[in-house]
């Protein structure tokens, strides 16, 4: 009953904040919900000086929610499947090589650039941190968040060639980012003896390629069953079962559930699969169901991001470090994209200023916060959690609000 109460409160807040945003603020949902929730939490902090009842209630809700588990083990699979289901598979195939390089080479280079930059930056401001922990931070902040990117780019009017690169990278790079994070986490936690080159390769193969293979199998099985019936009610339930049972199987096999859901969503959402397996009515209902579920989960997720302020250690130096880390993260992302962009821009006719737009449009989000929450105290959890939160909030509120203006200024709409 307690969890039902918490979910009910979250859905109520999501509905209330969503209404306020649409009625008064008129911001994109991702941005508006994050902004209103942060504003609400600050008001609760101010009221607590007179009556702390509301603050205690909000803290009680957050204390009962394991954000890392809720996002990475539950919500992420649904959100990625919904995002992949509505991604143009044909255009993604055309851009598969740059997307692959962005999601692998780009994340790896960004991890080391950010880790090195933060090591020297923190030392300069009197917060010396071991290099291995800075690399760990680089790994958790490097992947762009598909949830934040998908929600904002669709309204920004970016050229389709550019949009598919950013969306495709964001859908796939979290799997690579998590593998890099887990590898460095093992080294940082003192189990480095177990992390040879062979073990890292094995982890990558099992997590990433295992997830891709499972996704292909799930996509084909779903296609097989959808093709043999014509009842939109049952067909919608089949797609829901694909995500729920697929996530359980991925967890049991220790492969990447998010990657499996991305591949399954792309398989089922492809034009050929849709035309052969779904009637027009079924296709409409499947799309509407997953759009609604996507909006609901996104709404709850970004309300939770705003409420995560309650778990932060409000240290002035930490906030200062977070503000200084913003240009470091942006510069390192820009540098990590230079090689892949220059490698493919002539063959695939990249739009002008691709590196600049991918840097500003590559938003960080809930995945980074979830990984930061998984750090231990010895890994400077409080420091890196505050820095991560500052970067994520800046990314959503500032970059998210201005990416459309940047595209218009560069005359790329």
38 and 85 in a single domain? The answer is no
Task: Among 42, 63, 84, give the residue marking a domain's end.
Answer: 63
- Does the CA dihedral 122-127-131-137 come out positive or negative? negative
Residue 144 DSSP code: P
Residue 194 has pLDDT above 60, yes or no: no
Residue 88 DSSP code: -
326 and 228 in a single domain? The answer is yes
Name the band, by pLDDT with cuts 50, 70 and 90, for residue 411: confident
206 and 123 in a single domain? The answer is yes
pLDDT at site 150: 67
**For the CA atoms of the chain, what is the radius of gyration?**
21
CATH number of the domain enclosing 390: 1.20.1530.20
pLDDT at site 311: 81
Range of the domain at 180: 67-409
Written as six digits, the tokens of 67 are 């954000």
Helix runs in 25-126, H state only:
29-47, 53-63, 67-69, 76-85, 89-94, 96-101, 107-124
Residues 357/411, Cβ–Cβ less than 8 Å:
no
Residue 412 has pLDDT above 70, yes or no: no
Q: At a CB cut-off of 8 Å and minimum separation 6, what does 392 contact?
A: 305, 364, 365, 366, 368, 369
* Start-to-end C-alpha separation, the chain: 49
Name the band, by pLDDT with cuts 50, 70 and 90, for residue 78: very high
Residue 175 has pLDDT above 90, yes or no: no
Residue 143 DSSP code: S
Task: Among 63, 80, 103, give the residue marking a domain's end.
Answer: 63
259 and 401 in a single domain? The answer is yes
Mean pLDDT of all residues in the chain? 89
Q: What distance separates the 2 farthest-apart alpha carbons in the chain? A: 65
Residue 166 has pLDDT above 90, yes or no: no
180 and 307 in a single domain? The answer is yes
- Specify the DSSP element, H or E, that contains 275: helix 271-277
- Dist CA 270 CA 88 (whole Å): 7
Given phi > 0 = left and psi -120 to 50 = alpha, else beta, which region is 28? beta
Residue 1 has pLDDT above 60, yes or no: no
- Dist CA 186 CA 374 (whole Å): 13
Task: Among 23, 46, 63, give the residue marking a domain's end.
Answer: 63
124 and 269 in a single domain? The answer is yes
Number of structural domains found in the chain: 2
229 and 351 in a single domain? The answer is yes
Helix axes 280-307 and 366-373, enclosed angle (nearest 10) = 50
- Dist CA 84 CA 86 (whole Å): 5
pLDDT at site 191: 54
pLDDT at site 413: 61
Task: Give me the mean pLDDT over the 312-328 stretch.
Answer: 93
**Number of neighbours of residue 323 by Cβ within 10 angstroms:** 13
38 and 96 in a single domain? The answer is no
Per-residue pLDDT tens over the stretch 250-309:
999 988 888 899 999 999 999 889 999 999 999 999 999 999 998 899 899 999 999 988
Would you say how long the chain is, in residues? Answer: 413
Per-residue pLDDT tens over the stretch 116-163:
999 999 999 999 999 999 999 999 999 998 777 766 776 677 777 788
Instruction: Please classify residue 96 by burial: count the beta carbons closer than 10 Å to its beta carbon, then call 0-12 exposed, 13-18 middle and 19+ buried.
Output: exposed
**What are the angstrom distances between the C-alpha of 87 and each of 95, 210, 219, 236?**
13, 22, 15, 18
- Does the CA dihedral 111-94-263-217 come out positive or negative? negative
Give the global pTM.
0.91
116 and 42 in a single domain? The answer is no
347 and 198 in a single domain? The answer is yes
45 and 107 in a single domain? The answer is no
311 and 265 in a single domain? The answer is yes
Residues 28/152, Cβ–Cβ less than 8 Å:
yes
- Dist CA 203 CA 53 (whole Å): 47
């Amino acid at each position: 009953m307690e969890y039902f109460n918490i979910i009910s409160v979250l859905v109520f807040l999501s509905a209330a904040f969503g209404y306020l945003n649409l009625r008064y603020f008129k911001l994109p949902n991702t941005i508006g919900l994050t902004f209103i929730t942060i504003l609400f939490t600050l008001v609760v902090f101010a009221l607590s000086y007179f009556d702390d009842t509301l603050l205690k209630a909000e803290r009680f809700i957050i204390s009962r929610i394991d954000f890392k588990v809720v996002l990475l083990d539950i919500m992420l699979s649904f959100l990625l499947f919904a995002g992949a289901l509505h991604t143009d598979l044909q255009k993604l195939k055309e851009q598969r090589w740059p997307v692959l390089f962005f999601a692998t080479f780009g994340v790896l280079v960004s991890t080391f650039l950010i880790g090195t930059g933060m090591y020297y930056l923190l030392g300069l401001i009197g917060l010396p941190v071991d290099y291995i922990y800075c690399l760990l931070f680089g790994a958790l902040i490097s992947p762009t968040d598909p949830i934040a990117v998908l929600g904002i780019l669709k309204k920004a009017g970016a050229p389709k060639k550019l949009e598919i690169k950013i969306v495709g990278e964001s859908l796939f790079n979290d799997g690579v980012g998590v593998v890099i994070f887990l590898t460095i986490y093992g080294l940082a936690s003192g189990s480095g003896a177990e992390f040879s080159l062979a073990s890292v390769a094995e982890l990558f193969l099992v997590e990433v390629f295992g997830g891709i293979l499972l996704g292909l199998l799930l996509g084909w099985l779903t296609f097989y069953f959808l093709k043999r019936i014509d009842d939109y009610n049952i067909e919608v339930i089949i797609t829901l079962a694909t995500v729920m049972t697929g996530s359980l199987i991925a967890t049991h096999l220790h492969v990447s559930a998010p990657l499996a859901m991305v591949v399954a969503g792309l398989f089922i959402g492809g034009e050929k699969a849709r035309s052969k397996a779904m009637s027009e009515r079924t296709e409409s209902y499947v799309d509407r169901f997953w759009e609604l579920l996507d909006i609901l989960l996104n709404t709850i997720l970004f309300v939770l991001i705003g409420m995560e302020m309650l778990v932060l250690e409000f240290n002035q130096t930490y906030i200062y470090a977070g503000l200084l880390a913003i240009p470091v993260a942006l510069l390192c992302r820009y540098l990590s994209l230079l090689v892949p962009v220059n490698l493919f821009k002539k063959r695939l006719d990249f739009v002008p200023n691709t590196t600049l737009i991918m840097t500003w449009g590559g938003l960080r989000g809930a995945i980074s916060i979830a990984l930061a929450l998984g750090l231990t105290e010895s890994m400077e959890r409080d420091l890196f959690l505050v820095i991560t939160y500052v970067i994520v909030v800046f990314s959503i509120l500032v970059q998210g609000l201005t990416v459309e203006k940047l595209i218009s200024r560069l005359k790329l709409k």
